[in-house]
Amino acid sequence: MTAKKRRKSSRNNGSNSCGWGSTHRGAGNRGGRGNAGTGKKGKCKMPQKGTWTIQFFGKRGFKSKGFADHYTVNLRSVEELLETFVKNKAAVLEKDIYTINLTDLGIDKLLATGKVTKKFKITVKFASKSAIEKVKAAGGEVILPAKKQVKAPEPKEKGKE
């Protein structure tokens, strides 16, 4: 009967190669994983021809929207920031009515979230119907710019040309 012999690979456990030799160490042996080493940063080794290069190289995806074209504010925020507005002279108190020009502050639209406990006279470009109703119910008013009247073209009658 022959004696059971230990495998050679078990003797290599714990060494750097573990029986793989000196050239099998990980992704570093092949220059990295994926498209590493194809010149993504320097673009000097990037393949010049072929549409597949467009898929792998270059920026794509979401773009930053930057700043919004319009800014909105809720009635709750107006009440919370009221003291700050008065300190900065953005709001004026006259006979229990706070006069605020939101257009000068860069705010375009007034929304109705929140309760109105004080009287306001607010000037703004746009306001929701419910915001206007809440301010009027508290004894204030919302001043909107006058809309330009655009005349619709008169329909042409058939047969008279």
Position 120 in a domain: yes
Position 105 in a domain: yes
Across residues 131-144, what is the average pLDDT?
92
In this predicted structure, what is the pLDDT of residue 70? 76
Position 138 in a domain: yes
Give the pLDDT band (50/70/90) at residue 53.
low
pLDDT, tens digit (0-9, with 9 covering 90-100), for 97-119: 999 999 888 889 999 999 999 99
**CB-CB contact of 12 with 18 (8 Å):** yes
Chain mean position to CA 4? 68
Output 52 or 151, whichever has higher pLDDT: 151
The CA distance from 35 to 94, in Å, is: 69
CATH code of residue 85: 3.100.10.10
Three-state DSSP at 109 gives: strand
Residue 74, pLDDT > 90, answer yes
Cβ neighbors of 48 (< 8 A, separation 6 or more) are none
Residue 75, pLDDT > 60, answer yes
Residue 93, H or E segment: strand 91-94
* Entry pTM: 0.50
Position 94 in a domain: yes
Give the number of other Cβ atoms within 10 Å of residue 65's Cβ: 7
Q: Show the domain range for 139.
A: 72-143
DSSP letters for 82-101: HHHHHHTTSEEEETTEEEEE
Position 107 in a domain: yes
Give the pLDDT band (50/70/90) at residue 16.
low
Total domain count, the chain: 1
Position 148 in a domain: no
The CA distance from 112 to 90, in Å, is: 21
The CA distance from 119 to 134, in Å, is: 10
Position 66 in a domain: no
Position 43 in a domain: no
